[in-house]
């Protein structure tokens, strides 16, 4: 009897081994291939550089220590490896084997590889400025109607406008929710009011986002022939293409929202630590002089404000009062 059980056990093991080595790939392996061959890994890992370049545009309006702290915390809040884990986990969980196979067939095609290379090449800190300039040039020389139609179809297939607007909204709410506890009660945002305002503004935000997406895709895919872009659109419109975009864009949106919440908490702590007060104020000095500042912080025995040329500080015992500048 023992021999029979032993034989049955060996047969079972051999069947399991045959099943795992029969050419049927596991989802984890397919996910790894999709993440690499789609260019998602490389593009997400560029995010800290892109975010830093955007923050740099406000550098002259921030105190050096504030800028450094924000730059450091942006890299932590939107850690690319954490974003990638979120996307990878969602791909593995929500895409079936057939969809994964069809996505990889596209990505491994000559055109798929070409488009991935184009997308990776245009994921750089300077691309936003380039897209803006390219968009301005299109006002004088608009693309042909066929090109416009193809880009509109691509945007519709990806669902990118709705996703981006949803992401902007959720990031705003997440950040305000995290910052609010650090602010004086009179300066806290009413989240219900903010939500209503965002909902009222949604048509305008969608219109602006659609224009940005159009300009971005005109620029990024400018080297593709119409026939090549047509094939890309057809993949995006396919069942597998739509499912792939829904899953990856959705996972990215969730990761950005989590990052906004984390970043908001850090900003809140920074506000408390530096006693930062925003809004125009009038400092009435004991000697009769007045100063108008756009914001100020309390620093030990001084009130300080940051201007383009540097930091300006006044001793607290020289100030009679501080009032809002109406």
Domain ranges of the chain: 26-274, 277-324
Q: What is the pLDDT of residue 16?
A: 37
What tens digit of pLDDT does each residue of 99-138 get? 999 999 999 999 999 999 999 999 988 888 999 999 999 9
Contacts of 233 (CB under 8 A, 6+ apart): 150, 153, 154, 157
- The number of helices, as runs of H, and strands, as runs of E, in the chain is 14, 5
> Position of tokens 């509109």?
152
Q: pTM, whole model, 2 decimals? A: 0.75
**Token pair for 252:** 């990215």
> Position of tokens 């061959």?
37
Q: What is the pLDDT of residue 80?
A: 95
Q: What is the pLDDT of residue 23?
A: 55
| Whether the Cβ atoms of residue 171 and residue 255 lie closer than 8 Å to each other | no
The topology (CATH level 3) of 277-324 is SH3 type barrels. (2.30.30)
Q: What is the pLDDT of residue 12?
A: 37
Q: What is the pLDDT of residue 219?
A: 97
Cα torsion 219, 224, 229, 231: sign = negative
Q: pLDDT under 70 in the chain at which residues?
A: 1-24, 61, 63, 272-279, 307-310, 326
Strand partners, 323: 282
Q: How far apart are CA 266 and CA 247, in angstroms?
A: 29
**Token pair for 267:** 């900003």
Cα Rg of the chain, angstroms: 27
Size (the chain), residues: 326
Strands 277-285 and 310-315: unpaired
Q: What is the pLDDT of residue 323?
A: 85
Q: What is the pLDDT of residue 112?
A: 97
Q: How far apart are CA 159 and CA 176, in angstroms?
A: 26
Q: What is the pLDDT of residue 21?
A: 42
């Amino acid at each position: 009897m023992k021999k029979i059980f032993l034989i049955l056990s060996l047969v079972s093991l051999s069947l399991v081994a045959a099943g795992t080595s029969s050419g049927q790939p596991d989802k984890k392996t397919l996910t790894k291939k999709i993440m690499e061959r789609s260019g998602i890994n490389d593009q997400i890992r560029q995010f800290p550089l892109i975010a830093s370049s955007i923050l740099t545009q406000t550098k002259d309006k921030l105190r050096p220590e504030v800028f450094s702290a924000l730059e450091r915390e942006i890299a932590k809040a939107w850690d690319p490896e954490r974003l990638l884990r979120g996307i990878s986990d969602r791909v593995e969980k929500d895409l079936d084997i057939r969809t994964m196979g069809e996505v990889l067939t596209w990505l491994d095609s000559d055109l798929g590889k070409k488009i991935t290379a184009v997308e990776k090449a245009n994921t750089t800190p300077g691309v936003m400025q380039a897209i803006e300039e390219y968009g301005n040039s299109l006002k004088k020389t608009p693309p042909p109607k066929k090109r416009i139609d193809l880009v509109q179809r691509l945007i519709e297939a990806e669902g990118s406008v709705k996703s981006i607007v949803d992401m902007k909204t959720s990031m705003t709410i997440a950040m305000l929710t995290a910052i609010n506890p650090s602010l004086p009660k009179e300066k806290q945002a009413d989240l219900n009011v903010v939500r209503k305002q965002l909902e009222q503004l949604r048509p305008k935000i969608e219109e602006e986002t659609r224009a940005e997406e159009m300009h971005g895709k005109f620029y990024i895919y400018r080297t593709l022939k119409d026939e090549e872009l047509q094939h890309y659109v057809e993949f995006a419109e396919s069942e597998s293409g739509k499912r792939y975009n829904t899953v990856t864009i959705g996972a990215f949106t969730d990761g950005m929202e989590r990052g906004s919440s984390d970043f908001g908490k850090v900003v809140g702590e920074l506000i408390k630590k530096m006693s930062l007060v925003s809004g125009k104020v009038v400092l009435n000095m004991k000697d009769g002089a007045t100063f108008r500042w756009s914001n100020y912080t309390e620093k030990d025995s001084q009130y300080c404000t940051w201007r383009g040329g540097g930091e300006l500080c006044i001793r607290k015992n020289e100030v009679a009062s501080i009032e809002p500048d109406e």
